[in-house]
Amino acid sequence: MMWRLWLRLQTLFRRERNVQRLDDEIQFHIDQQIAENCAAGMSPEEARYAAMRTFGNPTVLKEETRDTWGWTWPEQMAQDLRYGARALAKNPGFTMVAVLAVALGIGVNTGIFSVLNGVALKLLPVPRADEIVGVDQRFHGRVRRNVHGEPGLFSYSEYRDYRANNHVLSGLLAYAPFLEATLAGDSPQQLAGAETSCNFFAVLGERPALGRTFVEEDCRAPGASPVVVLGDELWRSRFGADPLIVGKSVSLNRAKFVVIGIAAPGFLGLDPWPSAFWAPITMQKALEPDTDLLSEDNTGWLALLGRMRPGATLAEVRADLGVIAARTDQQYPGRTTTLVVHRATFLGRPEERKAVFGIGALVLASVGLVLLIACANVANLLLARASTRQREIAIRLSIGGSRWRIIRQLLTESLLLAFLGGTLGSLVAFWSVEGVARLVLAHLPHGAPRLEWNVSPDLRVWGYALALTAFTGIVFGLAPALHASNQDLSTALKGDGGRFIGKAASGGVLRSALVGVQVAVCMMLLIAAGLLIRSLYLAQTGDPGFQMKGITQAQFNLPSQGYSAEKAQAFQSELISRVEGLPGVDGVEQAQVTPLSHEFLGTGLTPAGETESRQFEFNVVSPGFFAMLGMPVVRGRTFTAAEARSEAPVLLISESTARQLWPGQDAVRKTLSNGKGKEYQVVGVVKDSQVSHLGHSDGLFFYRPGGPAEQDQLQLLVHSKGGDTATANGIRAAARALDGNLMVDVTKLADNLEAWRTPSRIVAALSFVLGTLALLLASIGVHGVVSYGVSQRIREIGIRMTLGASGRDVMSLAVRQALRPVVIGALVGVIGCAAVSQVLSDALYGLGAHDPIAFIGVPLLLLGVALLASYIPARRASRVDPVTALRYE
């Protein structure tokens, strides 16, 4: 065994010497035979021929012998690679274009994938993360349940039940993922944090950088242990990395918490929005004084993550926890619960995953299309090159090269090309993607949560890039290789077959088909880009139907700071009177949600005379709200201050609501009931406007006056003639004078538009870049095919011109032939895009999915570019000098 291994290794590593010895030996053999033949009386010449005859073809036999040494595969591969590298190096122009095209395609794909990977595929950044599972629940049947955050979350009693009674997890933790708190200080700071079960750090296996993390004692009783673990970043930015902070206390939402530890640097919690602090779950009431979630058994607010016991599988976990779920269901007749158990990642909850993967798939599909266009380009280049190598390949085939061997060699060459491009593209992508992601995240609109993603490439991204590269190489290499190796040898050897009149140049159909595909794909991308850019333009310039100029909004959360309704009322009236006194301010109004703030209030009301309740959106506002925003009351009147004070049951509705509920009738004095016996009367109808959703003003919508008991919920809208900055500073100062620890967010109302425009801006920018890339690649493709066609048929053109064709005729012939696949491809693209553009309709603002301008304008643009791309080589054809052309080659 060892001996054989030794032999094999020797044949691999001492190959050169072995080859030399074999040559010597065979030479010796032949010499011996010649000597013997001479001795038998032949002339030297004759003796040599006879010896060769008895020996056979030495080259073939040597090759066969080397085959027996094994390692043929790597040897041939190395040969192919050497040959391929030489061929590529000999043609630097071709190589550069092809490598760049592939690099673009693969780079964009890899970059997008590494973002997706960082956002939703990487396991959590904790030790032995593959053991951590997330648990979500789904309810079916009769469900009545309160939800804080997302429907799949658990209540505190459910969590304790699962934790105590499961047999498959070595630990189960719970945390409330959506918590904000104000850290008191000279300048109060709004922080994202989490309320966690006290085994949180233990289950995750996270050790603190300083101090300690929670122990079970901290969670013994509600409100018993006001302790907090701070995040590393907060500790450094806010407390100057002071190690003596441990043991001191900080104030979060006005409750005192003792700092017991600092989390390890790099531990940012379990969501893409980093946590700045962690407090025990039992301190929930201290952090959110307006709710008491611990005692509510049927309110979902906790996300659950467990660490599996060694050897346990997801299916076992699902089955074991399912038993507990079934037991809980017995308390709620008619309800069944199913559990979703999955490996924990960022954005692991099923709804989030669906959204992320939906968007991810769409983006990957479109960058995949760009890659496809790039592939078609490279395939076309390879085809063109293969036909110049036709004779070489024909010779190799006719002296006994097998077809498979030639295909393999051509494929090796295209794979080499793909790997050059893929490596270049991936490296650029890896190098730039973190910067690009940071840039995009830094330009999110005001009010969006701060996100942090680790998009650095890991093994999965490398694997993806590698697989994509190999796939790409085969995709663009296979068709040309098959085509090149399958040819009529005699024609090919004669040299100029297939280049004559009436007969398309060899591979013409394939090339045209490739151009057609390119154009079709490019068309789809361009129309999508056109739709998105048009919708961006409309979004930027559209009139939301109300006035934003000169209005400043001041937003605060009074209930979380422990304000009662009475205290809130006093605060609000004092703040309003102070703000009214600011220079330039000529109006102060209140609203529960400010227009376009991405917060929505919804409720069900039943119009009089109907039995089913309808879902309305609504807002709670002060009487002067409509006048300030320039929303005319078209029928009836607005509320009076007296109605607001007395909490009278009156409503204003929007025009389209009136139209939908009471078509052709006067809506004023109609009534609606809330299902609990309270009747509201419509006192006025206000003009439709996009106060809630930009681009939409046709939902059911009503406005209700804000009474004294709701003062803790309301935000301020301030209109001023003077400078916005001065007003904003004045409002901040006034609020700080009243309550120094209240976080007040003062911004221009018009800033709310940004949040609506950003998604379409990102999408439009991305699709613009992709569309431009696609157009560029496709026009290179068209140009390449036409100029190749012209150069192949130069003799035919010469003959035509000699026989009297004018330059115009020749040009129109070339252009016509070039445009046929373009037009077919464009048609297919338009039809395909019309079929799928419905997918985009969510991202399209104020625009149908079949917007005629995009659907007519973009094809015209593309055809124009294609015409230009084919015109340049066609003009060259028309200027051919017939004499030169006939002598060509």
Partner 1 sequence: MGKPSDLVQRTLDVLIVKTIALEPKHGWAIAKRIPQISREVHQMQQGSLYPALHRLEQCGWVKAKWKEHRDRPGSQVLLIDCQRTRPGRTGSRELEPPFRRTQFGRVETT
Q: Classify each residue of 569-587 as buried b or exposed e, where b means 16 or more C-beta atoms within 10 Å of its C-beta.
A: bebbeebbebbeebeebeb
Would you tell me which residues interact with partner 1 (CB under 8 A)?
3-4, 7-8, 11, 21-22, 24-26, 28-29, 32-33, 54-58, 60-62, 64-65, 67-70, 400
- Residue 414, SS3? helix
**What are the Cα distances from residue 422, in Å, to 4, 143, 427, 464, 474?**
39, 52, 8, 11, 13
Q: Pick from 460, 481, 509: which is nearest to 418 by CA? A: 481
What 3-state class would DSSP assign to 699? coil
Residue number, 37 or 638, with CB nearest to partner 1: 37
* Pairing mode of beta strands 633-636, 679-686: antiparallel
Q: How many Å apart are CA 251 and CA 188, to the nearest integer?
A: 10
Report the amino acid identity of residue 455: V
Burial string for 96-134 (b: 16+ CB within 10 Å, else e) reads ebbbbbbbbbbbbbbbbbbbbbbbbbbbbebeebebbbb
- Residue 302 is which amino acid? L
- Cα 834 to Cα 857: distance, rounded to the nearest angstrom: 14
Nearer to partner 1, 70 or 141 (CB): 70
Helix (H, G, I), strand (E, B) or coil at 212: coil
- Do residues 717 and 590 lie in contact, with contact meaning Cβ atoms separated by under 8 Å? yes
Q: Given the complex with partner 1, which of 28 and 431 has the nearer CB atom?
A: 28
Q: What minimum distance in Å lies between the beta carbon of 11 and partner 1?
A: 8
Residue 65 or 592: the one with the smaller Cβ distance to partner 1 is: 65
Phi, psi dihedrals of residue 621, rounded to the nearest 5°: -135, 165
Which CB, 400 or 852, lies closer to partner 1? 400
Answer yes or no: are the C-beta atoms of 132 and 204 closer than 8 Å: yes
Min separation Cβ 4 and partner 1, Å: 6
H or E stretch including 92? Answer: helix 92-116
Q: Measured on CA atoms in the order 797, 802, 803, 805, is the torsion positive or negative?
A: positive
Cβ closest to partner 1, residue 58 vs residue 832: 58
Which CB sits closer to partner 1, 65 or 291?
65
Q: Between residues 69 and 94, which has the closer beta carbon with respect to partner 1?
A: 69
User: What are the start-end ranges of the E strands in 579-632?
Assistant: 585-591, 601-607, 614-621
Give the nearest distance from C-beta 407 to partner 1 in angstroms: 19
Minimum Å distance from CB 403 to partner 1?
A: 14
What is the distance, to the nearest Å, from the Cα of residue 42 to the centroid of all Cα atoms in its chain?
A: 81
| Residue 81 CB, nearest approach to partner 1 (Å) | 25
Give CA–CA dist 337/322, Å, rounded.
Answer: 8
CB of 5 to partner 1, least distance (A): 11
Q: Can you tell me the distance from the alpha carbon of 4 to that of 10, in angstroms, rounded to the nearest whole number?
A: 10
Residue placing its CB nearer to partner 1 in the complex, 11 or 454: 11
CB of 398 to partner 1, least distance (A): 13
Q: Which is nearer to partner 1, 29 or 354 (CB)?
A: 29
Minimum distance from residue 817 beta carbon to partner 1 (Å): 43
Residue 264 CB, nearest approach to partner 1 (Å): 57
Half-sphere exposure of 98 (CA within 13 A, CB side): 29
**C-beta of 834: minimal distance to partner 1 in Å?**
56
Strands 255-263 and 208-211: antiparallel
Shortest distance, CB of residue 340 to partner 1, whole angstroms? Answer: 57
In the complex with partner 1, the residue whose CB is nearer, 61 or 323, is 61
Q: Which is nearer to partner 1, 3 or 404 (CB)?
A: 3
In our burial notation (b when 16+ CB lie closer than 10 A, e otherwise), range 274-313 reads bbbbbbbbbbbbbbbbebebbeeeebbbbbbbbbbeeebe
* Biggest CA pair distance of the chain: 136
In the complex with partner 1, the residue whose CB is nearer, 57 or 398, is 57
Least distance to partner 1, CB of residue 26, Å: 6
Summarize the chain as % helix, strand, coil (round to 5). Answer: 55, 15, 30
The smaller minimum CB distance to partner 1, of residues 55 and 239, is found at: 55
User: Whole-number minimum distance, CB 72 to partner 1, in Å?
Assistant: 12
Q: What's the chain's length in residues?
A: 889
- As measured in angstroms, the least distance from the Cβ of 395 to partner 1 is 17
Q: How would you class 770 by CB atoms within 10 Å of its CB: exposed for 0-12, middle for 13-18, buried for 19 or more?
A: buried
Distance between CA atoms of residues 72 and 289, nearest Å: 76
**Closest CB to partner 1 among residues 33, 760:** 33
Nearest CA-CA partner of 696 in 531, 835, 545, 507: 545
Q: Cβ of residue 400: shortest distance to partner 1, in angstroms?
A: 6
